[in-house]
Structure 1
């Protein structure tokens, strides 16, 4: 078993991944900027990807580092994420880390990628610039309670009696359940067949964003929402619209929307050779996300 550092341990993916890694027998360090307030499993470690000295301390004695941080809520996210990746790569190499695992974004390199997806590709490269083998899992929308992309979908179909949507809703994507993301992340940790490789991960179906919204609406309340597609609705206008009807801020929304005109589907299923198992369907992913949200609200 390995000593594993999870960056972003309190985030959407990290807070689910830490207990899964512990269950698998790993010694886990949960990296957060506020370790004094961390109440989850694992050993809390205070560090910031923007502070090289703090990374040197956090990575000391670590075998595998899982990189789950990004700056999508910042207008200058491309520069910030690149600087953080350079710093983390250098610190990981200096500490003798033997594997970095990174969550990237689906999208074929031959396509015209959005700033968001280009940034994810750049981070993939920068994390390995100092020689530590990087394992990349590329995903599209991750469906689970608290995930930004899923929350955009859920809140839109919940809050609006009808929707006027841009033509990018006809773009195909391949959503994946948070449970499968965690299973894949845990499965590639310290796996010799995963070192230095890029894997594409997704659920069982390729759906348009329109399909996803209709399924989510039916699952949430059994209702059908009238949806009108318009030929022009710019990313900027779309992001303001999202900010009005959801709690997703305009900067994050625009960075995500920019990617939605690019088809993001799985073309390589080799991850199943390393981490076997059938992923969940979109409907089951939605059902679990809604059930977790309901359980969370009951506990308040």
Structure 2
């Protein structure tokens, strides 16, 4: 614990899906934590709350003052112009971190091959990786596919589809392979690379042990939740745009967010290298167990 007592970590998006799990894990490991949020007066988690908004560069100097490591968990998926917004925010944050003498930025990005076939969502995540380090602060990137945990948008899509539909009417993109990862493992990997010299300036791919199609993910989630799989009807004419409206009808995920996520679901996103194991050893949690934990947390909340 004590080895991290001299390191203060800024967690952006501290009230978000990942951030609110990461801050207690960092405190438990002995880090000092500053929780950046747009509503610090409402923050009730561990660490010291501070106002900060990545889209407001003037607010970042105060948030980053005295910080050694900054964890960047910012994105604008619910916005139609998310690519330009995320680019501007990442560039401003990287410069502010440089001005504050931050020694490491840690960023949770997205899996996907650099072959020109990335969706706008994944392409934006890749662009942010570069812009965060543009001013010169070493960036550690963890690239992940779907994170399975209570409150995550991608998981909520899965959970609500399984819950709300007696049979699954699905588009053809459900045949695409992905490599989901449990929220607990994402937090474990984030904590493991923070203030770790061997992780500076490196990109790591992280995932669970299972490579699955989205269809298999839906069926396993149904089996864990209800004890049985569901009938499946594939509908080839459900385009990404039509799919996003369909999702808005059967889940509470808004059309813009759904469309941006669906655009990525035609891209195979699997782990192709395992160097993260050198820095953060340990076996990741399987998908079925990740689903069970997410459902249990949802019931408890």
TM-score > 0.5, shorter chain as reference: yes
Q: Please, what TM-score do these two structures have when normalized by structure 1?
A: 0.98
Other-structure match for 1:146: 151
| From 240, 250, 261, the counterpart of 2:255 | 250
**Unaligned stretches of 5+ residues in structure 1:** none
Pairing 1:114-153 to 2, within 5 Å after superposition? 114-153=119-158
Q: Please, what TM-score do these two structures have when normalized by structure 2?
A: 0.97
8 A Cα contact 2:220 2:229, kept in partner: no
| From 94, 99, 121, the counterpart of 1:94 | 99
Provide the rounded CA distance (Å) in 2 between the counterparts of 1:230 and 1:193.
47
8 A Cα contact 1:111 1:262, kept in partner: no
Secondary structure of 1:29's partner?
strand
Provide the rounded CA distance (Å) in 2 between the counterparts of 1:218 and 1:63.
45
8 A Cα contact 2:54 2:92, kept in partner: yes
Pairing 1:51-90 to 2, within 5 Å after superposition? 51-90=56-95
Question: Cα offset for 1:111?
Answer: 5.0
Question: Cα offset for 1:228?
Answer: 1.2
Secondary structure of 2:264's partner?
coil
| From 15, 18, 41, the counterpart of 1:13 | 18
Provide the rounded CA distance (Å) in 2 between the counterparts of 1:259 and 1:18.
28
The number of equivalent residue pairs is 296
Provide the rounded CA distance (Å) in 2 between the counterparts of 1:124 and 1:265.
18
Other-structure match for 2:288: 283
8 A Cα contact 1:55 1:91, kept in partner: yes
Question: Cα offset for 1:232?
Answer: 2.5
Q: Does the C-alpha gap of structure 1 residues 165 and 111 become closer, same or farther in structure 2, counting only changes over 3 Å?
A: farther
Provide the rounded CA distance (Å) in 2 between the counterparts of 1:107 and 1:9.
26
Cα offsets for 1:172-191 (capped at 9, x unmatched): 00000000000000000010
Provide the rounded CA distance (Å) in 2 between the counterparts of 1:115 and 1:87.
21
Provide the rounded CA distance (Å) in 1 between the counterparts of 2:240 and 2:115.
22
CA RMSD for the aligned pairs?
Answer: 0.7
Provide the rounded CA distance (Å) in 2 between the counterparts of 1:45 and 1:88.
15
**Unaligned stretches of 5+ residues in structure 2:** none
Provide the rounded CA distance (Å) in 1 between the counterparts of 2:296 and 2:48.
29
| From 199, 206, 210, the counterpart of 1:205 | 210
